[in-house]
Chain A
Amino acid sequence: MIDFTPFILSFKLAFIVTLILLFIGIPYAWYLSNTKSKIKPFLETITALPIVLPPSVLGFYLLVFLSPDSFLGGVVYKLFHLKLVFSFPGLVVASSIYSFPFMIQPIQSGFDTLNKNIIEASYLSGKSRLTTLFKVILPNIKSSLLTAIVITFAHTIGEFGVVLMVGGSIPGKTEVASVAIYDYVENLDYHSAHIYSAILLIISFLVLFFVYFINHNQRKRYDLY
């Protein structure tokens, strides 16, 4: 019998991370898309950094900065009694940082290509900024939002190095599916590794196919780009 706990952990982690990043991502990407500030290239670099940084580097720094002995980790521990290393909340923080660019970049490019006149047309229709955001802006970058959400979700499920370093592969707590495969291979249990790998492969394929399929149809219908 296969133990599905690592998959449930993976999905739980991906779901929470995606939700958090969506809330941060929309205003942050909006700011990046509209700002003329000189710090924009700097912010964009920071945002994209997790894409090029080896996961072990990021994992190492997160271990250092999130441990209860460090300033940040210490404050969180004192305030909330929350340990941010070798724990699930720690995984959420680490994954949110690691998956950050995958949420921001599609949304930002969606905002960049949006015809700004339709925003003004909405104001001239007497609509507030909030109504404009929900009725005009977000629906017209729907395919970018969908891409951002699904890719972030999939990327969080697929990550390995950072979760291994920050989470430490504790079964039932921080041992997500990708890490479990590594553990099986290390224990020469190829049978389980095969099953887990096949499941992840199929899920990844389906997730990506879903994004491309929906986006293809969306564009045909609304001609959003």
Chain B
Amino acid sequence: MIYINVRKKLSGVIENMELEFKLNIKKGEFLAIIGESGSGKTTLLRIIAGLEKSEGEIIVDKEIWQNEKIFLPPQKREIGFVFQDFALFPNMNVLENLLYVKNDKDLANHLLKISGIENLKNRYPNTLSGGQKQRVALARALMRKPKILLLDEPFSALDEKRREDLQDRLYFFHKEFDLTTIMVSHSSSEVYKLADNLVELNYGKIKRYGNAKKLLINSKTSEKFTIRGKLIDIIKADIINIAVVSVGNNIIECVISQNEAKNLKIGDNVILSTKAFHPNIRVINENIIS
């Protein structure tokens, strides 16, 4: 069980914003933290890691990491941290990056093997692709056998295909190493796929908390399915209008009426939904993955 109850003044988007975070996290839980930029997500991770000081308490498995009297430095907290830019040591090759954390060759080789990067162990970080760096960063974070794994938008620098592959891998590690994982994320599909619970921060305060899947599925309406997207164009064709919506990497066209078009403006975030029709579904696997 991890108990976090911290406060810290932030100089964020708003002047004198205060981060206030109080939560119990179960052992083995996968928690996602979402929220606008500047809402305090990264700061919260840094506070848990001991990289930034804050008021309040952090108690992990009955061990006090911080309270009014005690403040364990990052060195003493059993934490694995994956930075957004991976922060690999440029002067060390892949294997040395892992061994620097703990001089345990068996563990390092095992981690490299199950990460699928055994063949890269003599390479230096600057010769690796984003996805490869990410795997090294994850493997390095696990070298300390951490109680808590913290990830700061770990997939934001990767393309779609790599992202999915690494999400699967992360989930595997989460289970395999019995980790409690806290991940800052911008992507709802990522959160939906990986997280048990979700916290949404808004100006430093918890806005929503609960089961990730339940919270992410829009519960206000009763559509059979919904897709979120961004309206990028409205094309007038004779008497009808076509709304062009970007969803992920796809562009969807959708017929709308004159009246509907009036209420929309380009750049709006929109939800596409349908009730009456039965959606068609077909397999596309072999074509998409090259």
Known: A120-B51, A121-B83, A123-B51. A222 touches B74 (CB 8 A): no
Q: Does A27 have its Cβ within 8 Å of any Cβ on chain B?
A: no
Known: A117-B83, A221-B124. A124 touches B49 (CB 8 A): yes
Interface 9-residue window, one of A66-74, A86-94, A135-143, A209-217 = A135-143
User: How distant is the Cα of A118 from the Cα of B133 in the complex, in angstroms?
Assistant: 14
CB-based contact B75/A118 at 8 Å = no
User: How distant is the Cα of A121 from the Cα of B89 in the complex, in angstroms?
Assistant: 8
CB-based contact A126/B91 at 8 Å = no
* Range, interface on chain A: 20 to 34
* Range, interface on chain B: 20 to 34
CB-based contact A140/B51 at 8 Å = no
User: How distant is the Cα of A128 from the Cα of B140 in the complex, in angstroms?
Assistant: 17
CB-based contact A128/B75 at 8 Å = yes
Q: Does B205 have its Cβ within 8 Å of any Cβ on chain A?
A: no
Q: Does A127 have its Cβ within 8 Å of any Cβ on chain B?
A: yes
User: How distant is the Cα of A179 from the Cα of B59 in the complex, in angstroms?
Assistant: 68
Nearest-CB residue, chain A, relative to B150: A124
Nearest-CB residue, chain B, relative to A223: B126
Known: A117-B85, A125-B101, A126-B144. A140 touches B75 (CB 8 A): no
CB-based contact B91/A121 at 8 Å = no
Which residue of B85, B89, B143 contacts A122 across the interface (Cβ within 8 Å)? Answer: B89
Q: Does A115 have its Cβ within 8 Å of any Cβ on chain B?
A: yes
- Residues of A near B88 (CB, < 8 A) are 118, 121
- Residues of B near A127 (CB, < 8 A) are 75, 100
CB-based contact B90/A140 at 8 Å = yes
CB-based contact A140/B91 at 8 Å = yes
